[in-house]
Amino acid sequence: MESEREKVKTEEGVQRRQHPDHGALATISLTLGVISLMVAWLPIGFLVGIFAVVISRIALWKIKRGRAGGREKAIWGLATGYLGTMLATYAFAAFLKFDSQESARKISCVGNLTQISLALRMYSNVYNGEFPPYDGAKGLNVLVQDGFLVNRDIYRCPSVKHKGPYTVAVAKLTETDCDYRYFGGHEKSDPIDTIIACDKPNNHDKFGHVLFLDGHVKGYSGADWLDQAKKAAY
């Protein structure tokens, strides 16, 4: 048994002397595999994992034919590469799911602002073309008190996580319960591109919806989304 082990070691030593690659490819594959695990949540993680798998397979092919060394590193490179690609795939799938859910929430948010617009229009028809005079939740609360839009769920953005139920048991809208900014004091005869309501700054990630006086709602991307809307209105 000892003589056979010595014979194997001797053959491996001869192979390594004949081939200068003592496991460079295996080391590279393992390094890439580890990196793929570290950046699995990034789009590049999938590509790094694929490279790790490919290089490790090449290394194992060479090792099998006695052209290289580092079999253990190559196997670990293959395993980590596979794991990195799997994690990157799951991360990407989770991102798509989150993105689709957020898209649905944005659509629902547009629906909320559209209903607020209709309620404001009905209010103005009753009050000589004028909209509620107060800014913020106080102005929108007029719609609640006068019965134009009493469902307070409409005043909550679907993308905002609320800690609990409404802070006030009676039918009164407060800033805590309202996720939309209202700009009071306008009239139905004002310019149609006048901004009368919008998302609060942190409803969405660098994105916001704006309600114009004519009733249409438009979304803007970027941290300066409200400034973009104001420039478009002038």
Residues in a beta bridge with 155: none
Q: Which residue has the higher pLDDT, 141 or 75?
A: 141
Q: Which pLDDT score, from 0 to 100, does residue 127 have? A: 93
Distance CA 35, CA 76 (A): 13
Query: Residue 198: which region, alpha, beta or left (left: phi > 0; alpha: psi -120 to 50)?
Result: beta
Position 2 pLDDT exceeds 60: no
Q: What local confidence, expressed as pLDDT, does residue 16 receive? A: 47
28-58 confidence digits (pLDDT tens): 877 887 887 777 767 777 778 877 888 888 8
Note the pTM of the prediction, 2 decimals.
Answer: 0.59
Tell me: the pLDDT tens digits for 144-192? 999 899 888 889 998 888 655 555 545 688 888 899 999 999 998 898 8
pLDDT digits 0-9 by tens, 197-209: 999 998 988 889 9
At 172, the amino acid letter reads: K
Residue 82 has pLDDT above 80, yes or no: no
% pLDDT > 70, the chain? 80
User: What pLDDT is attached to residue 167?
Assistant: 52
9-18, 71-80, 119-128, 211-220: range with highest mean pLDDT: 119-128
